A and B are shown apart, each in its own frame.
Chain A
């Protein structure tokens, strides 16, 4: 394996899991040190104005101008930390899961996005708060009944492709596991609003996978 002298890394994101968590998990799985900078919402407007694309997470490498895009940062850390195969067909399998998890994140976050910016979804700018909350409650019950089980079923089916699945793709951890763990954890720990933590348990391989990955020493230590 190629040994590199690694630069200093700083990951900047809000103090919640969201889009940053899969990257934090990747740093931990890779055993790569990083500064886990967590900002408060009150700090965000000033920071947003100075950020390249008005978004976080951001990765600062050796104090250089920061790089955005959580999936880009995830793959970068994965390349440095042996979590992202260079074989094209293996990487294709990994990327398929990373993409699917992004779709899952988008689907279950939609009620939150609508609440944050109703105008972007065709609602009047002055829509009453209680109307938004009713919309969110409605959409969340559909998510819980249909979309979330559907996505969990896809990951369950992926695990079912192998008799004794170790990780979501292949025998060693990859960035696909980092992304999937972040999503499963969001459901399991109730940080996805309105989503019962028990939804994962209906999928036995996925529930076992979650328990296994959470027991990895670096992951257990991180979440202790």
Chain B
């Protein structure tokens, strides 16, 4: 008897998307619960750590931390091998993606709560000017640096996937990163920024063409 799974997150890709992809690639049914931002204020204090996403297994007390969920679903769906050396390779890629997200994050949060980085009260225009500067800088140096790492990883693997010859949770994670960059929704980051990387471009097309993933994005 298969357990039931419910994944709760906002109606955006964000931190949950890699977990959704792992469920889909692993062929595991789950309830993809999406919460309105408006509902979050009331919901937040009722969550274990004041964060989403949450994963509930068989209606039990929910678990937090998207990286934990990703590995759990990966184990169930054959996307996260037990072999220590193979898992190490996968975890290294996942960690690099987390570093990438943390590098981009300040230029996102500067608009919502600049005081968290020690800025005073800023007007909307002041915030936008700072964000533009931050984004232009990372588009020139940090983003290409990280893209280079992922490109090199694909070159080293030689299979078209990051680790081994079939998709793993590492591929789920990098696909979400590429989708974010290609969406153009990061102001001042050109949607074409990944186009100069041939292996990442081929990887993106390959992953988006996998039946489970194509179906997920069709709706």
Contacts and interface: CB of A to CB of B under 8 A. Distances in A.
Given A73-B88, A100-B65, A122-B114, A68 B95 contact: yes
Interface string B36-79: 00000000000011100001010000011111110110011000
Contact of A138 (B71, B76, B82, B118): B118
Contacts of B67: 95, 98-99
Nearest to A74: B91
Which applies to chain A's interface (DSSP): helix, strand, loop or mixed?
A: helix
A93 B99 CA distance: 23
B89 to A, nearest CB: 8
Interface string B83-112: 011011101101110110011001100100
Contacts of B133: 122
Given A69-B96, A89-B57, A154 B48 contact: yes
A122 B131 contact: yes
Contacts of B114: 122
A86 B75 CA distance: 9
Contacts of B137: 119
A121 interface: yes
B217 interface: no
B207 interface: no
Contacts of A96: 63-65, 68
Given A69-B92, A69-B96, A154-B49, A120 B84 contact: no
A88 B3 CA distance: 13
A168 to B, nearest CB: 14
A75 interface: yes
Interface string A159-203: 000000000000000000000000000000000000000000000
B68 A80 contact: no
Contact of A95 (B68, B103, B110, B130): B68
A218 interface: no
A69 B91 contact: yes
Nearest to B75: A88
B119 interface: yes
B87 A95 contact: no
A139 B91 contact: no
Interface of B: 48-50, 55, 57, 63-69, 71-72, 75-76, 82, 84-85, 87-89, 91-92, 94-96, 98-99, 102-103, 106-107, 110, 114, 116-119, 130-131, 133-134, 137, 145, 149
List 4 A-B pairs, minimum CB-CB distance, nearest first: A135-B118, A69-B95, A72-B91, A95-B68
Given A96-B68, A98-B67, A136-B118, 19 more contacts: A54-B145, A68-B95, A91-B72, A92-B71, A95-B65, A96-B63, A96-B64, A96-B65, A99-B64, A100-B65, A102-B98, A106-B102, A119-B134, A122-B119, A122-B133, A123-B119, A139-B118, A154-B48, A157-B48
